[in-house]
Structures are given as C-alpha cells and as structure tokens.
Amino acid sequence: MELFWYIVLMIMLTVYIILDGYDFGAGIIHLFFAKKEKDKKAITNAIGPFWDANEVWLIAAGGVLFFAFPTLYASSFSGFYLPLIMILWLLIFRAVGLELRGQVHNKLWQLVWDKAFGIASLLLALFFGIALGNVVRGVNLGMVTDGSSTHEAHYFFLPLWNPTFSPTTEHLGIIDWFTILLGLVAVVALTIHGANWIIFKTNSDLNHKLKKTIFKLNLLLLVLVIISLSIWHIIEPNPFHNFIEYPWFWIFPIITFIGLFGLFKVKSFKRDGLGFLFSSLFLFGGLTTTVASIFPKLLPSTNTVNPSLTVYNVAAHEYGLSVGVYWFVIATILVAIYMFVQYRVFKGKMDDVGYGEH
C-alpha cells in the first residue's frame, strides 16, 4: 500500500507541475514579453478559466502527503517552513494580481497588478525548482553536529542560505549553488511551457515571436540540463544506481530528452498543440527521472547518523492506507468528470473569453 500511495502522490505532483506550470510560464511571458494591452489580455484569457482549478492539485497532493506519509509531512512542513510561507504569499499575490487587475480601469493600478502577477509567477517557478533541488540534495535530519544528533531523527530546519552557499556542508540552507541551478532549470522550462500554452490557446500577435523565443530558451535549457547531469555526482556519489538496478527506469530520461529535442522543432509545427505536448513530456520526464533516481527515498539524509525518510519508514498504518483507497477512487472519478467538462467547455482558442473584465 505504501508504494501505491507513493505513486498517487507523485502523479498528483506531476500533474500539478504540468498544469499550474503553464500558468507560471504564462506569467513570466506576461512580465517580459507582453507590452501591448491586447497581448496582456490574450495571456490572461489563455489561463483565466484554468489557473484556480490547477492549484487544487497542489492542495490534493498535500492532503495525500498528510494522510499517507504523516511523518514526512510533519518533518518537511516544519523544516521548510520559511520557504513554504514565501510560496504561499507568492501564490496569493499571483491570484490577486489576476483578479484585481480588471477591477479599476487605471493604468497605474493595472501596472501594479501586472507586475505582481508576473514577478510572483517568476519567483514561484524559481522556488519550486529550488524545492526539487533540496529534495535531491537532502537535508541534515536530526540536525547532526560534530557526529551527534541534536534533535529527533526526522527533525530538521533550514535557513534560507548558509554562509558557504555550499550543498555539501554540514549545516545546509535552502538556497545554494546546486538548488539555484535547478531553480534556473525550472524557470526556463516553465517559461517554455507557458509560451507553448499561449500559442496553443490563442491567436495572439506574440505567437510568432514566442516560437523563436522557445527555440532560444530550449538551447539554454539543454545547456542547463547537461550542467546539472555533469555535477550530479557531487551531490550523489552514485547517481545512476537505481537505473542500473531497475533498467525500466530509463524510460523516464528517454521521455525527458524526447520532449527536450522535440521542442527544437517548434517553429515548424503545423499544429499549435504539439509544442505544449513536448514541453509536457519534458516536465513529466524530468520530474519522474529525478524521483526515480532517489527511490525509495522521499527525503534523503545528508548525514550517516539518521536514516533517510523513505516510502516505507514514514508511511501511515496499513489499515488507514487501505481504507483510503475507496475514497481515492470516488475522488478520482469526480476529478475526472470535472476536468473533462472544464476542458471541453473551454476547448479551442481563448482570445474572446474576456477574463477579468468588469
């Protein structure tokens, strides 16, 4: 049952990154590329009917984490308390920016909320990439100092950064050069993803320019991915051990590179949705490859005193996990119906939706 709920949790997080990821990317495009009012409206129209529903996947993933892996939930929500609060405020500002912009027809008012929406989207993409970097790198469980654990084995707390800015020091911070690198990968990847969604859902004048931008950003993304892979051994001495032990895991990096190299053809695609498909494949493959590389660990320990938090040592009781399956089936059916109706109602181009107009 632990493995079943682990897969459920990973699916929810992957769906969240793909769906809300295009919202973040659209916000970044809005911040840097949308200069004309009609371009801004095209972007908000493209994500307007979807963004709040997309965020529900994050809440659902948090609920599954609380239910199925309570020890991990307690450990991570206390240890990552500061960045989680920052993410919460950024989610609020992004939503407020979208909803309040059209309330007053004043250029200064609209400018303020445009910036709130764009900057919050950019920082959210960066912070979620940094969060993934923290999971890959691990944390100092038990707050071990000089070989001795100063707290219980699953406890940790991280400041925003440490004086050395290093991912290999004993007392780690949220931000170091490794987590920043993965944060940059996330920003570039989600910008591409958001641009593909805008192309898919609108006939904006920006679309031709965005295709050229996607190609250039994809070159940068390829370089960042190569750098990330080349320095992975600094964080994990044997980074490919799971792929050797479980050869079928190679399907995930293959999907990643199919998505990555497919994006180089974005300028020649006849169908607008193909770019979004390839960026979705890259996000899916990248996240699942990362997860597969550390399996069965959920949160690695950077010390040898306390064990890593794994799928098996942080799970709830077997009876509770079994009972939860019935409710999960009901919830899955309801979500599937909702998403089918939502995407059917808002299928096609969204230029004339008029989201946020009052």
Q: For residue 68, what pLDDT band results from cuts at 50, 70 and 90?
A: very high
Q: What is the mean pLDDT of residues 249-259?
A: 94
The one-letter amino acid at 2: E
What pLDDT, in 10s, does the model give residues 13-35? 999 999 999 999 999 999 998 88
Q: What is the mean pLDDT of residues 327-344?
A: 88
What pLDDT, in 10s, does the model give residues 97-122? 888 887 778 888 888 888 999 999 99
Dihedral over Cα of 77, 83, 85, 91: its sign: negative
Q: What is the mean pLDDT of the chain?
A: 89
Give the span between the Cα atoms of 47 and 59, in whole angstroms: 19
Give the span between the Cα atoms of 183 and 191, in whole angstroms: 12
Predicted confidence at residue 106, as pLDDT, reads: 80
What pLDDT, in 10s, does the model give residues 149-175? 788 888 888 888 888 888 888 888 899
**352, part of any domain:** no
pLDDT at 38 over 60: yes
**219, part of any domain:** yes
What pLDDT, in 10s, does the model give residues 288-330? 999 999 988 999 988 888 899 999 989 888 888 888 888 888 9
pLDDT at 358 over 70: no
Domain count, the chain: 1
Q: For residue 355, what pLDDT band results from cuts at 50, 70 and 90?
A: low
Q: What is the mean pLDDT of residues 43-67?
A: 88
Strands (E), 114-256: 144-145, 148-149
**275, part of any domain:** yes
Q: What is the mean pLDDT of residues 62-82?
A: 91
Tally helices (H) and strands (E) across the chain.
13, 4
**262, part of any domain:** yes
β-strands 144-145, 309-310 pairing: unpaired
Q: For residue 146, what pLDDT band results from cuts at 50, 70 and 90?
A: confident
Count other C-beta atoms under 10 Å from residue 203's C-beta: 13
**358, part of any domain:** no
pLDDT at 352 over 80: no
Count other C-beta atoms under 10 Å from residue 117's C-beta: 27
Predicted confidence at residue 356, as pLDDT, reads: 61
Predicted confidence at residue 158, as pLDDT, reads: 87
pLDDT at 179 over 80: yes
Domain span at residue 232 reads 2-345
Asked whether the beta carbons of 44 and 30 are under 8 A apart, the reply is yes
Q: For residue 357, what pLDDT band results from cuts at 50, 70 and 90?
A: low
Q: What is the mean pLDDT of residues 178-188?
A: 94
Predicted confidence at residue 226, as pLDDT, reads: 93
What pLDDT, in 10s, does the model give residues 195-245? 999 999 988 888 889 999 999 999 999 999 999 988 888 888 888 888 888
Give the span between the Cα atoms of 216 and 212, in whole angstroms: 7
Predicted confidence at residue 327, as pLDDT, reads: 87
**87, part of any domain:** yes
Asked whether the beta carbons of 306 and 293 are under 8 A apart, the reply is no
**200, part of any domain:** yes
**357, part of any domain:** no
